[in-house]
Amino acid sequence: MAVTIKSLARSQLPTTQGDLYAAPTTPAAKSTIVKNMRFVNVGSATVTINIWFKRGSGGTAYRILPKDMAIAPGQLVIENEEVTMESDDRIQGQVSSGGTVDYVLSGVERDQS
């Protein structure tokens, strides 16, 4: 089984709840361990973020960070608690309206058997 250490996702948080990362289903299903999540407020005002784990594309979303976590301008939030994911599980996020928060998710993917 191939194991790949990688940057899983990087971009800016959406202003509506949306997928930041989905564990691959094709060409081969993969299991993932998200080892680290980083969020940086690159805007000029304090914002709030919400982050969820969702089981599959049609599953229920569960919070994995405190609700409406505030981040001041220029501040960094690092979440080092691991999240174990099966194929098609998702990490979702949202920033308050008008906010600009960069994120990077890092971890390990491996072929699912």
Residue 1: pLDDT over 70: no
For domain 3-111, the question of CATH label 3.40.50.720 is answered with no
Per 3-state DSSP, what percentage of the chain is helix, strand, and coil (rounded to 5)? 0, 60, 40
Residue 57: pLDDT over 90: no
Domain boundaries, the chain: 3-111
- Residues 62-107 have pLDDT tens digits of 999 999 999 999 999 999 999 999 999 999 999 998 889 999 999 9
What is the pLDDT confidence band of residue 26, given thresholds at 50, 70 and 90?
A: confident
Burial class (CB in 10 A: 0-12, 13-18, 19+), 21: buried
